[in-house]
């Protein structure tokens, strides 16, 4: 074969290779865009059901970007905190609320989202902030596809590019293909229902599990972690007050054993908070529902009925000092 023939063969190979790469790129982008397992390309305005969890950070931020002025109250937190239905919040406090709780949310993210609302001049008059003494860690901004933050909140050009590329890239392609494979057989049962017009979420699973009255090993307070958590609470409160908002704290109604296992942590935290926060909504430790797994989807997520019970009774609003005394007393009983 002459030199010209070799050149023609090389040219044909390059053309075929380039065409193959281009076709695969088109396929990859098309599958990622149209399947959209995380719902980052197709915002939802109403109710929908899914068997795979979407990226609620993106979905809720996009909705609020267009509608935040319609609400005068907001719930901010983690996936636990969708246990507070907006209808219950509205009926008790006479507000029109949005549930901005997201998967694996923490105070670092709450502060970033509140700063974003400030930038849009859209801070509601009432902010409900649930806390859990067993979840005080403040990890860095998550980078996985399920929990990547909405680019408008990060507000960095580099991050915007990375965000788009991650959802049209190979990892997203694998996730989307897996979803398509699951859809080829019997349609999977939905595990989630979302109402993006209010931010409400419903979990379709209920796992039975034992709830010990007293946890065998108490968690020792890590003072540095507690101080950092309290500092974030203070920054959130300051920013809220500066923008005309009132913060209401809620202690999540976790199973009794989990609460008592973290009683020392809670007491140390409440002591640091006492100068800026005076009251908190809580379910009394004597409430039998804290000992019944029928009121939980799993050990970490409580049902809506329990969330409503925390806020509906006026007597459930107590001082931080009273709550600390209740935890101390219950812990002493466990150690007898």
Q: Residue 163's CB: how many other CB atoms inside 10 A?
A: 17
- Closest by CA to 245, choosing from 130, 122, 93, 153, is 122
Question: Which H or E element spans position 49?
Answer: strand 47-50
Scanning the chain, the segments in alpha helix (DSSP H) are: 3-35, 56-67, 86-93, 107-119, 151-154, 157-167, 170-184, 223-242, 256-261, 263-273, 304-312, 320-335
* Rg (the chain; Cα; Å): 24
Q: 197-247: per-residue pLDDT in tens?
A: 999 999 999 999 999 888 656 566 688 999 999 999 999 999 999 999 999
Residue 143 has pLDDT above 60, yes or no: yes
Domain residue spans in the chain?
A: 49-150+190-335
Predicted pLDDT at 2: 55
Question: Which H or E element spans position 99?
Answer: strand 97-101
Residue 48 has pLDDT above 80, yes or no: yes
d(CA 192, CA 185): 20
- Closest by CA to 221, choosing from 87, 327, 296, is 327
**136 or 199: which carries more pLDDT confidence?**
199
Both structure tokens of 298: 């799993």
Confidence of residue 4 (pLDDT cuts 50, 70, 90): low
Q: How much is the average pLDDT of 22-35?
A: 90
Instruction: Note the pTM of the prediction, 2 decimals.
Output: 0.92
Confidence of residue 142 (pLDDT cuts 50, 70, 90): confident
d(CA 198, CA 7): 63
Residue 186 has pLDDT above 80, yes or no: no
Predicted pLDDT at 220: 66
Q: How much is the average pLDDT of 285-309?
A: 97
d(CA 97, CA 71): 5
CA 285, 84, 199: angle at the middle one, nearest 5? 160
Both structure tokens of 1: 């074969």
Predicted pLDDT at 218: 59
Residue 7 has pLDDT above 60, yes or no: no
Could you give the 3-state DSSP secondary structure of residue 88? helix
Residue 13 has pLDDT above 90, yes or no: no
Q: How much is the average pLDDT of 8-12?
A: 68
Q: How much is the average pLDDT of 110-130?
A: 97
Both structure tokens of 4: 């010209």
Secondary structure (DSSP) of 158-224: HHHHHHHHHHSSHHHHHHHHHHHHHHHSSPPPP-EEEETTTTEEEE---------SS-SSPPPP-HH
Q: Residue 64's CB: how many other CB atoms inside 10 A?
A: 24
When mean pLDDT is compared across 4-13, 66-75, 164-173, the lowest value belongs to: 4-13
The architecture in CATH of the region 49-150+190-335 reads 3-Layer(aba) Sandwich (3.40)
- Residues 165-194, buried b or exposed e (16+ Cβ, 10 A)? ebbbeeebbebbeebeeeeeeeeeeeebeb
Confidence of residue 313 (pLDDT cuts 50, 70, 90): very high
- The whole-chain average pLDDT of the chain stands at 92
Confidence of residue 270 (pLDDT cuts 50, 70, 90): very high
């Amino acid at each position: 074969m002459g030199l010209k023939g070799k050149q023609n063969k090389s040219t044909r190979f390059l053309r075929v290779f380039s065409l193959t790469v281009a076709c695969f790129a088109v396929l990859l982008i098309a599958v990622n865009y149209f399947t959209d397992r995380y719902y980052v390309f197709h915002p939802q305005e109403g109710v929908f059901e899914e068997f795979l969890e979407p990226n609620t950070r993106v979905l809720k931020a996009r909705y609020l970007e267009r509608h935040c002025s319609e609400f005068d109250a907001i719930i901010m937190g983690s996936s636990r905190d969708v246990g507070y239905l907006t209808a219950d919040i509205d009926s008790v406090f006479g507000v029109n609320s949005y549930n901005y709780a997201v998967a694996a949310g923490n105070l670092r993210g709450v502060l970033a989202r509140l700063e974003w609302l400030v930038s849009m001049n859209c801070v509601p008059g009432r902010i409900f902030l649930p806390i859990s003494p067993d979840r005080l860690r403040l990890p860095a901004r998550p980078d996985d596809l399920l929990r990547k933050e909405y680019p408008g909140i990060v507000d960095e050009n580099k991050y915007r590019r990375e965000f788009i590329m991650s959802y049209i890239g190979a990892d997203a392609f694998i996730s989307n293909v897996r979803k398509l494979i699951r859809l080829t057989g019997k349609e999977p049962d939905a595990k989630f229902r979302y109402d993006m017009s209010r931010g409400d979420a419903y979990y379709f699973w209920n796992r039975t599990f034992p709830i010990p009255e007293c946890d065998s090993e108490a968690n020792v307070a890590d003072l540095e972690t507690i101080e950092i958590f309290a500092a974030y609470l203070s920054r959130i409160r300051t920013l809220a007050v500066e923008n005309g908002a009132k913060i209401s704290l809620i202690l999540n109604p976790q199973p009794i054993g989990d609460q008592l296992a973290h009683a020392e942590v809670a007491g140390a935290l409440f002591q640091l908070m006492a100068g800026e926060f005076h009251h908190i909504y809580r379910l009394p430790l004597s409430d039998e529902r804290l000992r019944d797994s029928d009121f939980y989807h799993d050990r970490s997520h409580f049902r809506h009925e329990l969330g409503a019970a925390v806020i509906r009774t006026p007597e459930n609003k107590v001082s931080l000092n009273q709550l600390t005394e209740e935890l101390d007393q219950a812990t002493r009983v466990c150690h007898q």
